[in-house]
Structure 1
Amino acid sequence: MTPSLPLLAVTALVTGLLGAPDREVSPVADVVEHVAGHAPGTYWTPQRMARAVPIGLLGDLRRITAARPGTPSILPPAAPPEPALPLIARAALPPVARAALPPAARPVLAPDHAARRSPSRTRQAAAMPPATTSGTRWAAGGSVTRTTGRVFLTLNGVDFSCSASAVRSANRDLVVTAGHCVKDGAGDWAENWTFVPGYDDGQQPYGAFPARRMFVAGPWSRSGNDDYDVGMVAVEDLAGQHLTDTVGGQPISFDPPRGHRTYGFGFPADPPYDGERLLYCAGVPHGDPQRQTRDQGLRCDLTAGASGGPWLSGFDPASGRGTLTSVSSFKYSNDHRTMYGPYFGSAVRDLFRTAERA
């Protein structure tokens, strides 16, 4: 049961009648909270992680066929595109064979620039990642390789994977991801939710942090509104160490200016990617041409499994640090090359302020 009014008195009444609530609306904001159940310590074996399906929005055939034309889709486009759910979410489909990861793209200096530089400076410039790309392996290292990780979870009895980021917070335990990587819209909450920061080719250099409390905005919980597709999870300490004490955390910002260069990171797991390495997109985002959401779109070929990965503005490739201003959310059925992310406005600020106190 989820109270519809964000009033402390209503929450207290429900608590008194029903005991400690599984979900509750924050008395200071439209935030819905869930106490996470702990997965057995042996649940996420390497074999189970390898079989996890890349996740997105979940839905049955009634929801798929009832969606409006032009809304986000998980299905391949037809001619004309069929109305459906978000493409980034192929959670209802069976796992597919993993293809080899394409090699990282390398920037090329224009001949007149290269001729004026010493060999050492040319090598340094060539090693820097491109500032505009629709999908490249991140090989420059830095903080982002520690703070970004994969999420493994169970929803409706199926094991899935997403992407997420550790962020600076008062409790030093907060992870930000997509709402659909935490809760199936108006449906169920995720179980066995675990964050693996710094994941790389099956390696877990900093361990795995299980969820203790989960948070989504009210509009996401009630109707799966894509404008609010953001989830925040407070995780357990690991061996007495807080998450951000171990791996650091990216700062988060709200009401950011639109149209500024952004780097989006994640672990895409549908071909041609296999979910084993950190990839990124970079460019200048634009508004939603479909005018279905307030989201921004970024040219990006990353596939399902990148859901929930951080979008970092003011990003410094040398240090791997930036400011979290969105997360990967969905793609439209008639535009597979643009990833959309929700705008971090006042609702996401309220979500963060509630979650960082957990």
Structure 2
Amino acid sequence: MTLSTPLLAAAPLLAGLIGPALLGGAPGRQQADQPAPRAVRTEIVEHVAARTADEQRRVLDYWTPERMAKALPISLLDIVTDGAGLLSDLTGRTGVRAAPDLSGGRVSPHASREALNLGPSGPRRHQAAARPQTNTAGSRWMTGGAVARTTGRVFLTVSGADFVCSASTVRSANRDVVITAGHCVKDGAGEWAANWTFVPGYGTGGLRPYGQYAARRMFVAGPWSRSGDDNYDVGMVALATSGGRHVADVVGTQEIAFNTARGGQAFGFGYPADPPYDGSHLVYCAGRMKADPYGESRDQGLACDMTAGSSGGPWMTTFDPASGRGTITSLSSFKYSDDHRTMYGPYFGDTVKTLFDTVEHA
């Protein structure tokens, strides 16, 4: 059996990849060579979050600057809760879900069960170049542009604990859609996240230059909801308006595409919160994507040092560093415990397209 840890914001103990986020999970061994029945591929599961104006206000009021500051990357979700959920089956399961903001890190058959610390080795600091690099495992994004507005931090609560993840706005019919990791929305077969809030362009000291948006409705694919299948670790959320304005009208959006050619150049973005990062800056990785060398998923890998808290951050192809615009074709999901330098993201196929077609009309 293999173990995997999502990129939630988890303590350095297990998956300190992405930051306090939801329990994202790694499922048991994936049968990537056998396509799922069509009924399974197109099944979409929905959760109504904050429907009324009063409920949305309650969510926004919940996230005080103090609570946001304390929603740090944590270790396994079952360490801060009662042990239930995706992380409770650490022994004998193919995958381990990390806390909200899942920085999924799974243990491959070639890795020791003890090698679960997904955090980077050493307090390295990444200095951004004068212009964006097309090949970097982790640098602070200093160029601005659309991506600095469309990417943001997600704050959520699971089993009474507060976590963080990353997400991006997407061009949609309702102008309300953001995309993130499935484990940043729902704990696999477990519970949905509560108090779900998106803060685009999050800045140092809890700066919220474009406001914050509560979730109205949340969606994941059936395989993620049933078993935390890493191949479907994608969550999409329809946000409520803020001050009567849709998020797309305030910060803009990125394009999204499905069934694209595998491989190629990609830029990945997120707000890693485990050391040497602190969640206050937008960070990016850039390079060529490659197939999962262990064959445990249909995901693609990208050389990336980002830690917990970056879960759900967008991966863009045909990205223009000058304008900060591109096309989202994947997102940060998990890392293998014996390879801290590679982040993996799900392939956006027919199921993710169906997911998007559903949420953009929600």
TM bracket (short chain): 0.7 to 0.9
- Corresponding residue of 2:139: 136
For 2:339 and 2:123, the matched residues in 1 are separated by 24
Aligned ranges 1:1-358 → 2 under 5 Å: 29-37=42-50, 38=55, 39-54=58-73, 58=77, 60=83, 62-68=88-94, 74=105, 81-82=112-113, 87=118, 102-106=125-129, 127-201=130-204, 202-358=206-362
Distance 1:53 1:256, change over 3 A: same
**Paired residue type of 2:141:** W
Deviation at 1:227, TM superposition (A): 0.1
Superposition CA RMSD, Å: 2.9
Offset at 1:84? 9.0
Secondary structure, counterpart of 1:53 in structure 2: coil
Secondary structure of the structure 2 residue equivalent to 1:232: strand
What secondary structure is seen at the aligned counterpart in 2 of 1:66? coil
Q: Is the 8 A contact 1:56 1:304 kept in 2?
A: no
CA distance in 2, matches of 1:349, 1:149: 22
Task: Report the CA distance between 1:188 and its aligned residue.
Answer: 0.3
Q: Is the CA contact 1:265–1:280 (under 8 Å) kept in the aligned structure 2?
A: yes
Q: Could you state the TM-score of these two structures normalised by the residue count of structure 2? A: 0.78
Bigger drift between 58-67 and 335-344 goes to: 58-67
Q: How much does 1:101 deviate?
A: 8.5
Residue 80 of structure 1 and its aligned partner are, at CA, apart by 5.3
Paired with 1:41 and 1:172, the residues of 2 have a C-alpha distance of 20
2:44–2:221 Cα contact (<8 Å) kept: yes
Gapped regions of structure 2 (runs ≥ 5): 1-38, 99-103
Contact kept, 8 Å, 2:267 with 2:319, in 1: the verdict is yes
2: distance between equivalents of 1:291 and 1:83? 21
Counterpart for residue 119 of structure 1:
none
Instruction: Report how far residue 128 of structure 1 moved.
Output: 1.2
Verify the 8 A CA contact 2:106 2:334 in the aligned structure 1. no
Supply the distance in 2 between the matched residues of 1:336 and 1:310 (Cα, whole angstroms): 19
**Per chain length, whose mean CA-contact separation is higher, i.e. which structure has more relative contact order (CA < 8 Å, sep 6+)?**
2
> How far, CA to CA, are the matches of 1:76 and 1:291 in structure 2?
13
| Deviation for aligned residue 1:203 | 0.7
TM-score norm. by structure 1 comes to: 0.78
Structure 1: stretches of 5+ with no match in the other structure: 1-25, 89-98, 107-126
Query: Residue 131 of structure 1: SS of its match in structure 2?
Result: coil
- Is contact 2:89–2:96 with CA below 8 Å preserved after alignment? no
CA distance in structure 1 between the aligned counterparts of 2:134 and 2:270, rounded to whole angstroms: 16
- 1:96 corresponds in structure 2 to none
The residue identity in structure 2 corresponding to 1:162 is C
For 1:208 and 1:69, locate their aligned partners in 2 and report how far apart those are by CA, in whole Å.
Answer: 33
Q: How many residues align?
A: 303
- Cα drift, residue 102 of structure 1: 2.7
Instruction: Specify whether residues 175 and 56 from structure 1 end up closer, same or farther in structure 2 by C-alpha distance, changes over 3 A only.
Output: farther
Separation of aligned partners in 2, 1:351 and 1:178: 13
Aligned to 1:117: none
1:42 CA displacement: 1.9
Share of identical aligned residues, percent?
60
Q: Secondary structure at the match of 1:293?
A: coil
Q: CA deviation at 1:81?
A: 1.2
If you compute each CA radius of gyration, which structure gives the higher value, 1 or 2? 1
